[in-house]
Structure 1
Amino acid sequence: MGSHHSHEPEPDWAAIEQAKRERQAAEERQRQAEEAARHAREAAERAAREAEERRQREREAQLAAERAAQAAREEAERMRRWREEAERAERKARQEAEARAREERARAERIAREMEEERQRLQAAAEAKRLAAIAAREEEARRQRAIEEEAQRARKAQEEAERQAREAAEAARKAQAEREEVERQLKKGIQPVVMPSVEEIQLAKAKVQYEECIFHFAVAGIAGSGKSSLINALCGMSNSDSNAAPTGVNETTLEIARYIDSAHSKQFAWYDVPGSGTLTIPDWQYFNSQGLYVFDCILVLFNNRFTMTDQAILANCRRFNIPTFIVRSKSDQHILNLMKDMGYDPDEEDTDSRAQFYKVAREKYISETRQSVKNNLTEANLPDQRVYIVSNKTLSGVVKDRGPKRIIDEVELLTDLYNEAYRSGKFT
């Protein structure tokens, strides 16, 4: 059989090469497209990141701005509160400065008054010292004369013996006269001077709650002389105060009443003693029956007249060595009565006329009161003693440091009372 050879067509190498090139070109384009897509994605991512960063920076900037605004608002509020506080502090400081200035002015005025009072007191003390020096010189001269007289009597022994005999006879006569006088007084019911026993003194002290560390002032006098009102004034109280001493037209005190001065509660005690005549007590028994011998100081108060009771109190105080102060109260009313007697019309509005009437009446009242007390003391064989002329209203004003204008003896009375208390040695 014959062999059969088939002939296949030759490959189209050019087409193959062309197809290869096209495939490679397509792959390159695909690669480039992928590269471009990658670059695009990266650019998009960068843009997104940058946009996010910008948004973050913007949020941070906004937050920073909000914080700054909040801080500014807080600082403004703090500054407002600081200004208000500064204004309040300034107002308070100004008010305190004004109050201190007022207090300093009042203190300066009070010191000026006290200095003037001290000057007057020192002036009076200097005068008293001068008079005491004169009295001492007179006493020395008298003593010298007595020495000379004694020397003369020594030279005249016989005359001395006769004189002594005469004196002995005279003494016997006086003793007999005194015994007869005592018997006469006893027949009349007049009690002789009786010294209290130790037991009576202890009982009297217990009755008035006597304390050794307190100075005890007693205010005594006849019924209706104004003892309670005077005590209220001395304690800086008015008669209407709840703890004031009761007052009235009739005698309101039937037992010794004790009052404490609130300003000197650890130093002074005041006692309102029943007026004589209210407890059927005779004048000569008044001092002992009321136990006045236990008090540290006694104020003898009188209104219109100086009585036997007042004289008896002063005499007994001398016997017991008790300091005394003679006081006349209600002076404002007495001066007004004198003004009316002189023709003053209370309804008249002429202040100059009132001032002139007051000046004349005041001088007359003071002069007559001092002379009346002097005469009464002389008649009672008692030594001369100052009388303190006061008005309870003015005295209360002085105690409360209100600076009353129409002062007579109120300041000096308080000063002398306090000095007497401190001289007692009860206070350190």
Structure 2
Amino acid sequence: MGGLVSAIIGAFSGGHVQPNPVMEELQRRIKEQEAQAHEAHAQQASAEEALRIAQEELQRSEEQMRVAEDAAKAQEEEIRRADEARRTAEDAAKRAEADRYATEEQMQQAAETARRAEEERARAEAEGARAQEEKRKSNKAAEQANQAAAEARAAQEEAQRQLQEGIRPIIIPTMAEFMETRRRLEYQEGLIHFAIAGIAGSGKSSLVNAFRGLRASDEGAAATGTTETTRVVTRYPDPRPDRPFVWYDVPGAGTLSISEWQYFTDQGLYVFDGIIVLFDARFTASDIAILRNCVRFQIPAYIVRSKSDQHIRNLTTDMGGGDDSDSEDLTLKLQARERYTVTFRP
């Protein structure tokens, strides 16, 4: 054993030992392996660094993703809240619209109720007013009926009294008689119709001619005479176009053919716009009957005395007068005229 070791040592110590190719290969391989290991270690370190960086990037990405997710969640929450708020607002708007509609409906119903109440009140007031008016009319009708009854009793008593005293009653024409009389006498709207009435021989025809500006001898003049010449009511339009008058010459009252109490009605004097009662020396019962009927029918009446010039001449003669050409006679005539006017003025 010792010899072997010595031989080995001697072999290597003399410098003649040949390199061992196996060892060299092993060393080369070891170096390569070490280099590879170093390279692998460096690569591993680089990989680990890259991994670390990647992990850090991943962590940052995950953190950013988490932040983004949180932001997304927050945004979704905001959106949800906004949607919830929108739905709440829409619900509130719908409720407000429903409330407004209900309020308007209630207001319309209240207005309709108020209108109906006002109509009912107005109807009630109208009914009350009508009732009061009916009551007033009823009271007035009762008063009128009582008054009419009283007037009827008074008229009956007056008629009985007049019959006892021999006074004739006043006859009231019917509407048919009224219209027929207007037609018969040719009454025309727009004209003024005057009747000249009075006892026979009072000068009615002469007064008609005077009103129309005509003499008895003129064409179209009313016939005149000392006795009653007019037998029927005669119509005489005024010939002057600026005077819308129609004059009627009425037969005299108190003749054998016309009694005084029938005179006003039979001659149709109730249709005239005005009546002139003409008398001569004194008023008669016929004149008074005409005037009473004028009052009864509310017809304007005018009293005219005729033949005044003749009466003045008679007074002048009674006062000692003679020829009108004498100045003294003219003075007497003026005095007679003054006496006549004072004596017979109403």
- TM-score, normalisation: structure 1: 0.43
Question: Closer, same or farther in 2 for the Cα pair 1:202/1:189, shift >3 Å?
Answer: farther
Segments of 5+ residues of structure 2 without an aligned counterpart are: 1-145
The answer for the alignment partner of 1:161 in structure 2 is none
C-alpha displacement of 1:186: 3.8
Task: Return the match for 2:160 from 169, 183, 191.
Answer: 183
The answer for the alignment partner of 2:210 in structure 1 is 233
C-alpha displacement of 1:265: 7.1
Question: Closer, same or farther in 2 for the Cα pair 1:292/1:176, shift >3 Å?
Answer: closer
Q: Is the 8 A contact 1:254 1:279 kept in 2?
A: no
Give yes or no for the alignment of 1:216 onto 2:230.
no
C-alpha displacement of 1:277: 2.3
Task: Return the match for 1:306 from 283, 307, 316.
Answer: 283
Instruction: State how far apart, in whole Å, the 2-side matches of 1:204 and 1:305 are.
Output: 30
C-alpha displacement of 1:276: 0.7
Question: Closer, same or farther in 2 for the Cα pair 1:260/1:279, shift >3 Å?
Answer: farther
The answer for the alignment partner of 1:253 in structure 2 is 230
- Aligned amino acid, residue 275 of structure 1: G
Please give the root-mean-square deviation of Cα atoms over the aligned residues, in Å. Answer: 2.5
User: CA offsets, 1:20-67, max 9 Å, x none?
Assistant: xxxxxxxxxxxxxxxxxxxxxxxxxxxxxxxxxxxxxxxxxxxxxxxx
Question: Closer, same or farther in 2 for the Cα pair 1:350/1:286, shift >3 Å?
Answer: same
SS in 1 for 2:261: helix
C-alpha displacement of 1:244: 0.4
SS in 2 for 1:368: helix
Task: Return the match for 1:315 from 292, 302, 320.
Answer: 292
Task: Return the match for 1:350 from 283, 307, 326.
Answer: 326
C-alpha displacement of 1:237: 0.4
Instruction: State how far apart, in whole Å, the 1-side matches of 2:154 and 2:235 are.
Output: 44
Task: Return the match for 2:341 from 360, 366, 382.
Answer: 366
Q: Is the 8 A contact 1:298 1:324 kept in 2?
A: yes
C-alpha displacement of 1:319: 1.3
- Aligned amino acid, residue 315 of structure 2: L
The answer for the alignment partner of 1:336 in structure 2 is 313
User: CA offsets, 1:398-424, max 9 Å, x none?
Assistant: xxxxxxxxxxxxxxxxxxxxxxxxxxx
Question: Closer, same or farther in 2 for the Cα pair 1:305/1:214, shift >3 Å?
Answer: same
Identity %: 53
Q: Is the 8 A contact 1:214 1:266 kept in 2?
A: no
Instruction: State how far apart, in whole Å, the 2-side matches of 1:180 and 1:234 are.
Output: 43
- Aligned amino acid, residue 209 of structure 1: E
Task: Return the match for 1:267 from 234, 239, 244.
Answer: 244
* Structure 1 segment 83-94 matched on structure 2, within 5 A: none
SS in 2 for 1:283: coil
What is the number of residues matched between the two proteins? 199
C-alpha displacement of 1:335: 0.7
User: CA offsets, 1:251-271, max 9 Å, x none?
Assistant: 000100111111147711000
User: CA offsets, 1:111-161, max 9 Å, x none?
Assistant: xxxxxxxxxxxxxxxxxxxxxxxxxxxxxxxxxxxxxxxxxxxxxxxxxxx
- Aligned amino acid, residue 326 of structure 2: D
Question: Closer, same or farther in 2 for the Cα pair 1:189/1:249, shift >3 Å?
Answer: same
The answer for the alignment partner of 2:124 in structure 1 is none
- Aligned amino acid, residue 225 of structure 2: G
Instruction: State how far apart, in whole Å, the 1-side matches of 2:321 and 2:243 are.
Output: 46
Question: Closer, same or farther in 2 for the Cα pair 1:333/1:264, shift >3 Å?
Answer: farther
Instruction: State how far apart, in whole Å, the 2-side matches of 1:247 and 1:187 are.
Output: 39
The answer for the alignment partner of 1:327 in structure 2 is 304
C-alpha displacement of 1:334: 1.2
* Structure 1 segment 116-131 matched on structure 2, within 5 A: none
* Structure 1 segment 41-60 matched on structure 2, within 5 A: none
C-alpha displacement of 1:180: 4.5
Give 1 or 2 for the bigger CA radius of gyration: 2
Instruction: State how far apart, in whole Å, the 1-side matches of 2:243 and 2:333 are.
Output: 40
SS in 1 for 2:253: coil
SS in 2 for 1:262: coil
Q: Is the 8 A contact 2:321 2:333 kept in 1?
A: no
- Aligned amino acid, residue 286 of structure 2: T
SS in 1 for 2:246: strand
Segments of 5+ residues of structure 1 without an aligned counterpart are: 1-167, 375-428
- TM-score, normalisation: structure 2: 0.53
- Aligned amino acid, residue 286 of structure 1: Y
Question: Closer, same or farther in 2 for the Cα pair 1:209/1:354, shift >3 Å?
Answer: same
User: CA offsets, 1:285-327, max 9 Å, x none?
Assistant: 2111111000001000011111111111111111111111100
- Aligned amino acid, residue 277 of structure 2: V
Q: Is the 8 A contact 2:173 2:265 kept in 1?
A: yes
